[in-house]
Structure 1
Amino acid sequence: MKHLLTATFLITLVLISACTTSPTGRRQLLLLPESQMQEMGAQAFTEMKGKTPTEKDPKLNNYVKCIVDHLAVQIKEGEIPKQWDVVVFKSDEANAFALPGGKVGVYTGLLKVAATQDQLAAVIGHEMGHVIAQHGNARVSETLVAQGGLDIVNTVLAQRQGQNYDLLMAGLGLGAQYGVLMPHGRAQESEADVLGLQLMAKAGFDPRASVELWKNMGKAGGSQPPEFLSTHPSHGTRIENLNDNMKNALALASQSTSKPNCVR
């Protein structure tokens, strides 16, 4: 009984010490060191490149990289890498992702919905916002607590297979086969919207394009389930959140000295 109480006390201390505040003031649990999250991100990115066809058109790749580079410059020193690895994947899916360690993937299907550099910057900025706020670490930490502790991480990463590995990859936002992106929670999605809006504005992109982007997403996506049945905010709620933060974003954009001219 004494050993059980001691163990419970130690676990409680670890959990308390691992609680941190996100960039917008939310409380979240971060159990893993950033170095381990970067390792997981790099590993998942390498495996995904081996499984998913990539776009070879240099002009299209340069276009996406141009947008990522402008956004990355605005990230605080020491927060995450300034240089991001960028891959354009050949897929009709209208999506993108960012992983710890400075990894960005953009699907060619997204370029049919994000019609301008500013709209694409809104999506990529949103995904980079997840990384800035360490949402992947928070989700993996929740998985570890549910699964029974930190001791499974190294074993699972070494084996690269099994249910626990799939759960850890899902924590990064990747499905078991890396073909399906797993949704973040509503609070994380809303936070990434705000951080992405600020990031694109500082980089000199027009933040108002984020609203147009989500209108396009609504047209392309067809009917949505009711918001209470989905982990994502509805398009209307997302647009409302963006508009609520637009005044500050426009002020940041007016102060920016960056003038992106990324040509598709």
Structure 2
Amino acid sequence: MPVKLERKHAFPLALAPILLALVFVLFKLYTASKVTNPETGRVARVALSPEQEQRLGLEAYAQVKRDEAGKIIQSGPDVDLVKRVTTRLARAAAEKAVVQYNWEVSVIQSHEKNAFCLPGGKIVVYTGIIPIAKNEAGLATVLGHEMAHATSRHSAERLFRSQIVQTILGGVQGSMMDMDPAQRQTIMGALGAGAKYGATLPFSRKQESEADHIGLLYMARAGYDPREAVAFWQRMDEQLGKGSPPAFLSDHPSHNTRIGQLQTWMPEAQKEYNQHHNRAPAA
């Protein structure tokens, strides 16, 4: 009597969420908008249009101004300094920019040693960073870096990558719904940590390095000695270096790494600086 063989290749339903997640990821990768950085040539996928970025930046900027309304200063030497440096850097950034920005800056009286630029070109500078900047070129190091985040559309790129990671993690979690909750939580915690330290933080450090590189070119193109960027980060290392976490735990490169990278890019920046000084003075 012939023996009937049963096929036992039924598709494991537990894998369905993972496969659906992968299909969605492939679709996103295929359909996402691509942008080419005009300064470095790096191609990136982004989750927002320039208009959406600028709208979100305006909303965030308005919130910052509401929150800090009592500390915003409208005039004085610090405001003049910040606006002068911003204006020169904006001209430098515009030379190769694909998207043109309506730059705007607010100066906040505070001991906080910080500055940031929101998507769309809205800049906030805390006066606590100015003594460390020490001079115009030092401040140009800070602001050039922050403005480079905006022109490189780093926020839209981070959002795209975050969506990809969350989709994959969601698919994995969906495939473990029949698993013991405590075991599932342990596995998802491990995967989340792996995604953070193995993908998210290294990518953030990569963006920070790119902003350092482009900011160096901006300041050189604007007529600021790019060697002052190294001096600035040496001062920052003296101020904050001892309390910095290990590089692999941080979303920023270590100060020593930044200084080394800046020195590597210095010949390129020096060329921009020399070309600037060979131009005829502007009328």
Q: Cα deviations across residues 203-259 of structure 1 (Å, max 9, x unaligned)?
A: 101100100000110111141222222221111110000000101111110111589
Matched, 1:233 2:253: yes
Q: C-alpha displacement at 1:146, in angstroms?
A: 4.7
Query: Are 1:15 and 2:29 an aligned pair?
Result: yes
2:44 to 1, 5, 28: 28
Structure 1 counterpart of 2:59: 43
Q: Which residue of 2 aligns with 1:202?
A: 221
Contact 2:36 2:43 in 1 (8 A): yes
CA RMSD of aligned residues (A): 3.0
Greater alpha carbon shift after TM alignment, 6-15 vs 116-125 = 6-15
Say if 2:259 is the partner of 1:243: no
- 1:73 matched to 2:91? The reply is yes
Letter in 1 for 2:77: K
Q: Residue 206 of structure 1 aligns to a residue in which SS?
A: coil
Q: Tell me, what secondary structure is at the counterpart of 2:133? A: coil
* 1:244 alignment partner AA: T
Distance 2:21 2:252 in 1: 37
Please report how far the alpha carbon of residue 83 of structure 1 lies from its aligned counterpart in structure 2 after TM superposition: 3.9
CA contact (8 A) 1:81 1:102 kept: no
Q: Which residue of the partner structure matches residue 92 of structure 1? A: 111
- What is aligned with 1:135? 154
1:178-207 C-alpha deviation (Å, 9 max, x unpaired): xxxx99811001111100000100010110
Bigger mean CA deviation after superposition, 72-81 or 50-59: 72-81
TM-score between the two structures when normalised by the length of structure 1: 0.76
- Tell me the equivalent position of 1:174: none
Q: Find the residue that maps to 1:256 and give its secondary structure.
A: helix
Verify the 8 A CA contact 1:119 1:209 in the aligned structure 2. yes
User: Shift in Å at residue 31 of structure 1?
Assistant: 1.5
Equivalent residues, number: 227
SS in 2 for 1:74: helix
Change (3 A) 1:90 1:183: farther
Q: Partners in 2 of 1:259 and 1:222 — Cα distance?
A: 41
Query: Rg larger in 1 or in 2?
Result: 2
Greater Cα shift, 80-89 or 59-68 = 80-89
Relative distance call for 1:49 and 1:85 in structure 2 (3 A) is same
Query: Using the alignment, how far apart are the partners of 1:222 and 1:134 within structure 2?
Result: 28
1:59: Cα distance to partner?
2.9
Q: Distance in 2 between matches of 1:123 and 1:256?
A: 20
Q: Distance between the aligned counterparts of 1:252 and 1:6, measured in 2?
A: 49
Given that residues 106 and 123 in structure 2 are in contact (C-alpha distance below 8 angstroms), is that contact kept between their aligned partners in structure 1? yes
The answer on whether the counterparts of 2:202 and 2:248 sit within 8 Å (CA) in structure 1 is no
Is the Cα contact below 8 Å between 2:220 and 2:273 reproduced in 1? yes
1:12: Cα distance to partner?
2.4
- Cα distance in 2 for partners of 1:144, 1:248 equals 35
For 2:121, the equivalent position in structure 1 comes to 102
Label 1:259 to 1:68 Cα distance change in 2 as closer, same or farther (>3 A).
farther
Contact 1:73–1:82 (8 Å) recurs in 2: no
Secondary structure at the aligned position of 1:105 is classed as strand
Q: How many percent identity over aligned positions?
A: 38
Q: Distance in 2 between matches of 1:20 and 1:80?
A: 11
CA contact (8 A) 1:122 1:197 kept: yes
Inter-CA distance 82–11: structure 2 relative to 1 (3 Å threshold)? closer
Describe the SS at the equivalent of 2:245.
coil
Structure 1 SS opposite 2:125: strand
Question: Using a 3 Å threshold, how does the CA distance of structure 1 residues 6 and 144 change in structure 2: closer, same or farther?
Answer: closer
